[in-house]
Amino acid sequence: MKSILSDFQAMNHPLLYTLAFAQMHGISTYHRCTLIKTFGSANAIYQERLKGGAAFATIEKMNPEPLMAAWPLKAAAEELETMTRLGIEATCLEDAAYPNRLYQCEDAPIVLFSKGAKKWNLPYLVSIVGTRKHTLYADKVLQELLEGLASLNLGIVSGLALGIDGMVHQKACQLKIPNWGVTATGLDAIYPAQHQSLAKKMLNLGGVLTENTTATSPLPFQFPKRNRIVAGMSDATIVIESAVQGGSMITAGLARGYNREVFAVPGKISDLKSRGCLALLQSNTAQVYQSPTQLLECLGWAIPKSPKTVQKSLPINLTPICQEILDHIAKHGPLHRDQIANQFQLNIGLLSTHLLTLELNGLILPHGGAFYSIR
């Protein structure tokens, strides 16, 4: 009788080697990400291993021995079967659907497991986080914030935790704002259990995601790892309320480290739940959040035109490759230049010429960090 592993190997299933690579020990998150960006896929890394692994020496400060050891392909095949049974999807770092903002982080997960919509590359994404034991003031501020953002083509990211995170997801669902919850466990069981029904509601417009395989327990070290995804997926992070030692402080610090904007809601100096926000403001880690209008002005955001409007004004002299690039950005943007180059197998010099053509024709907008979106 054939094994599960041999079945997936016979199918040449693209996820088999990614799942095995993700479960290997002795390789840092940074080096996993670097290896995928260097070789293009986990399968390519595995093939290099079979050739002797000489190319692994090009990766700085990495011990190649774990890569040359046996890969946990059987465990990967079992995980793949479990994912299929539970309806869990996987998005690899090299996939076009991978969150492009997270892609730019040097410690980005090499694979994300998700349920729901994968619209992680909306023109605007904001992470909103806060304490588990919030005040009525936080409730009021959050309601005003989300109502002010509801008209934008925007998505919300949070941690699906009790307290403000859960309130973010609940209110976003009520306002029909796409929102995603990043969990610190696998997707076979929603954590915390109190949010199982909320997670189901979120699937209608957004969803839940994690970097963890099934059967991953909510151990303490998993939560800071989760927080880096919350911080890395978005253009900006807003801390509604937090104690000085709160997990939201970790998220804010990570966002700042990724060169993303951080905002904090000021509160009473006597309120323990506001002292984290006040500390962020005092250290210049965060800007003061005052209102949705002020937030949009600080970020330079406006309501974007729909791709349909753009299509009507297309010039008739676009080359086929320019048209393909434009269509790809319209569907998946904003996208980083490297993602576009990888998609169309173009060198940066030639791609820059095509992007400049589209920009001069008023069809795309360049953003900081070599990102491009439809105008």
pLDDT of residue 191: 95
Cα separation, 249 vs 276, whole angstroms:
7
Nearest Cα neighbor of 145 from 175, 110, 114 is: 175
The closest alpha carbon to 172, from 211, 127, 214, belongs to 127
Q: Is the Cα torsion angle 314, 320, 325, 327 positive or negative in sign? A: positive
Task: Write the burial class of residue 2 (CB in 10 Å: 0-12 exposed, 13-18 middle, 19+ buried).
Answer: exposed
What is the pLDDT, as a whole number, of residue 115? Answer: 98
**How far lies 150's CA from each of 116, 144, 154, 174, 371, in Å?**
20, 10, 7, 10, 24
The yes/no answer on whether domain 307-374 falls in CATH 1.10.10.10 is: yes
Residue 110 in 3-state DSSP? coil
92 three-class SS: strand
| pLDDT of amino acid 149 | 94
Please name the fold of domain 114-299: Rossmann fold (3.40.50)
- In the chain the beta strands, taken as DSSP E runs, fall at 89-92, 111-116, 124-129, 154-158, 179-182, 207-210, 236-239, 261-264, 287-288, 335-336, 364-367, 371-374
pLDDT score for 304: 41
* Secondary structure of 211-270 in HEC code, one letter for each residue: CCCCCCCCCCCHHHHHHHHHHHCCCEEEECCCCCCCHHHHHHHHHHHCCCEEEECCCCCC
Q: What is the pLDDT along the chain (375 residues), one digit of tens a residue?
A: 356 666 656 556 889 999 999 999 999 999 999 999 999 999 999 999 999 999 999 999 999 999 999 999 999 999 999 999 999 999 999 999 999 999 999 999 999 999 999 999 999 999 999 999 899 999 999 999 999 999 888 999 999 999 999 999 999 999 999 999 999 999 999 999 999 999 999 999 999 999 999 999 999 999 999 999 999 999 999 999 999 998 999 999 999 999 999 999 998 888 889 999 999 999 999 999 999 999 999 998 864 444 444 444 444 578 889 999 999 998 888 888 888 998 999 988 889 888 988 888 888 888 766 788 887
All structural domains of the chain with their residue ranges = 4-84, 114-299, 307-374
- What confidence score (pLDDT) does residue 282 get? 95
What are the structure tokens assigned to 19, written together?
A: 């799942």
User: What's the full length of the chain, in residues?
Assistant: 375
- DSSP annotation string for 46-69: HHHHHTT-GGGGGSTT---HHHHS
CA gap 247, 253 in Å, rounded: 10
